[in-house]
Amino acid sequence: MKVPQRLQTKLQELGIEVVIATTDDAVEIFNRRYDTDDQKAAAGFHLTC
């Protein structure tokens, strides 16, 4: 899934870190950060293909 640069820029302007990775890597990154960071987290995974 391609994330438009405009969206990435807007999220970063709002102070939201954007991580773009394959689904397997993204899940691993999310789980690792969820377990160790004391920050709120959200994820959007593209799972339809």
pLDDT one-digit tens code per residue, 4-43: 999 999 999 999 989 999 888 988 988 888 777 677 778 8
Tell me which residue of 34, 17, 46 sits closest to 9, measured CA to CA: 17
In the prediction, which pLDDT does 37 show?
Answer: 62
Q: What residue spans define the domains of the chain?
A: 5-36
In the prediction, which pLDDT does 10 show?
Answer: 96
Whether the predicted pLDDT of 3 surpasses 90: no
DSSP string, the chain: -PPPHHHHHHHHHTT-------HHHHHHHHHHHHHH--S----------
Whether the predicted pLDDT of 48 surpasses 70: no
Q: Do 17 and 39 contact (CB within 8 A), yes or no? A: no
Is the pLDDT higher at 22 or at 48? Answer: 22
Is the pLDDT higher at 6 or at 1? Answer: 6
